[in-house]
Amino acid sequence: AAGVIQSPRHLIKEKRETATLKCYPIPRHDTVYWYQQGPGQDPQFLISFYEKMQSDKGSIPDRFSAQQFSDYHSELNMSSLELGDSALYFCASSQYLSSYEQYFGPGTRLTVT
Amino acid sequence: GNSVTQMEGPVTLSEEAFLTINCTYTATGYPSLFWYVQYPGEGLQLLLKATKADDKGSNKGFEATYRKETTSFHLEKGSVQVSDSAVYFCALSVLGGATNKLIFGTGTLLAVQP
């Protein structure tokens, strides 16, 4: 079965640089979520989109922005990167009517040096 | 507010031992409850879920029952295997806007020794 695709899988950036993470949801899933998991931490909700509109916002820094496109894929843009942004970033997708059941991608590991 | 508390690890067991990982929650309304598993170097996999009180979720020998009276969703398995070694996250789903975000517990590392 098709799963959530995230790219890139690994990314190394320097402080103050920018990064773009991409997420391709499972076919026919219209809702996308982004989570951040720091080392040894639990995943923290960042932001979600339904039908290309932002639905909910969590602890996402102002330096980050995200959007969902017409093909339902989503991109997380991160600017002025800080060392503390080093984490595993997960994307999850669901169908709106069963949005309590989210399927996670393999994550993008971002390292900021 | 909404939160999840789960027992701290690591939990170290011998193969074929009985597993319990405790999870309690605080939530407004009626959340759905989940257990996710994360194997080393991998993403999160949904292990099981329960959407209303007294529901029992089960998968791969793991079980958890949604107990509204005790606000708990403890994970159990009768006989663990080395391959069950992973981090287990309890989570609840709360409605935010038009979508349901997940709130996770801190995770419990399970190490099963042969």
> Residue A102's closest CA among A23, A40, A22?
A23
Q: Distance between alpha carbon A42 and the CA centroid of its chain, in Å?
A: 15
pLDDT tens readout for residues B26-39: 998 889 999 999 99
| B63-77 burial code (b ≥16 CB/10 A, e <16) | bbbbbeeebbbbbeb
In this complex, which of B42, B46, B101 lies closest to A103 when CB atoms are compared? Answer: B46
> Residue A90's closest CA among B46, B17, B70?
B46
For residues B19 and B13, is the Cβ–Cβ distance under 8 A? yes
Q: Which of A3-7, A29-33, A54-58, B27-31 has the lowest mean pLDDT?
A: B27-31
A105 touches chain B (CB under 8 A): yes
Distance set, CA A29 to CA A21, A56, B37 (Å): 19, 17, 22
pLDDT tens readout for residues A42-52: 899 999 999 89
Distance from CA of B114 to the nearest CA of A (A): 25
